[in-house]
Amino acid sequence: MYGAMRDDLRAGLAEIREAGLYKAERVIGTPQKAAVRVGGGAEVLNFCANNYLGLADHPVLVKAAQEALDKWGFGMASVRFICGTQEPHKALEAKLSEFLGTEDTILYSSCFDANGGLFETLLSDKDAVISDELNHASIIDGVRLCKASRFRYKNRDMADLEAQLKAASGARYRLIATDGVFSMDGYLAPLDEICALAEKYDALVMVDDSHAVGFTGPTGRGTPELFGVTDKIDVFTGTMGKALGGASGGYVSGRAEIVEMLRQRSRPYLFSNSLAPSITAAALAALDLLSSSGELLERLRDNTKLFRTRMTEEGFDLLPGEHPIIPVMIGDAAKAGRLADLLLDQGIYVIGFSYPVVPHGKARIRTQMSAAHTTDDVNKAVDAFVAARAKL
């Protein structure tokens, strides 16, 4: 039987390659940081990691992880409710609740799992989910797992959201689900307007703030802080795999009763091993760093502004915004991949994004700024884009 499947898979893979959509994996031979070595070559500047605050190799986090290995061991070999809960797990949940301004928090092995275990636990066929069309795949998959009615509204379109809320008026509970930041575009969800509509139509609000927590908002507490609606959000989800150290792990934070029910019924939580002690300890150290200094936030914002300004001056097509995700729009998938290769030759590590990650005809180089970059690094990246464009 596999012979026939193998032939189909080979044909499908060939089509992906011919369309310029094949996603090769480049092997990094150094820790994740502002400059990395790719494929055994010379070091190049890394402008595609989610290492927003430059904490992935921060010595404070590395030390915290090493000390946790000595004190708490390597792994838990258990799920939380059996014998997989250590003191650092409870400490991290409490610290996240304090940082986010919520009542309680529950940890998951990833935010993908957090979103995957959320909707099925809370909603039944009597309920409705109203979801932004550009929400992350983990939200889409999580919604598919539940029996609630599904409504989709156009990206950040409040008129359409209101129309969908009206269409869902017969449901017992209505839950609006949105990314805080849409990761392919760097656009922010208008949470103030979303919360106003939720209040008008008696709906709950869920925000996945993975691409915001740690650096968005006046003190880095995410898009709800930025829009002044922290107390109006019912469910927050997020990750430690980006700004908060860049390792792994996710969470759901919010109303106490919601978190308590997730501990009892959420399948990814009940059937997945606990976070490794070293990751838990490093995440605690990351939150301590954020609470004590705004220097990293300022550096990230300065780098973002400089890159946007210079790239615009050089005539590149950027999606507008202020987020450190800065898509450089190319259009053609093969051309985007070629530009990424030329930039690597120029000492800049970026990746071309194309279908199915983004729509057909919307291929791009998604650059991401980091507090680990210097002003010289940012200027070098812009100069490399100019030089590479000339060779296309």
Residues carrying an active site annotation: 183, 211, 242
The CA distance from 364 to 340, in Å, is: 10
Neighbouring CB atoms inside 10 A of 55's CB total 29
- The two tokens of residue 215 are 């650096």
35: left (phi over 0), alpha (psi -120 to 50) or beta: beta
- The two tokens of residue 171 are 């449901």
Closest CA to 103 of 266, 233, 268, 249: 233
The CA distance from 368 to 327, in Å, is: 8
- The two tokens of residue 238 are 């997020």
Residues 6+ apart with CB under 8 A from 173: 122, 123, 126, 127, 128, 203, 204
The CA distance from 110 to 241, in Å, is: 8
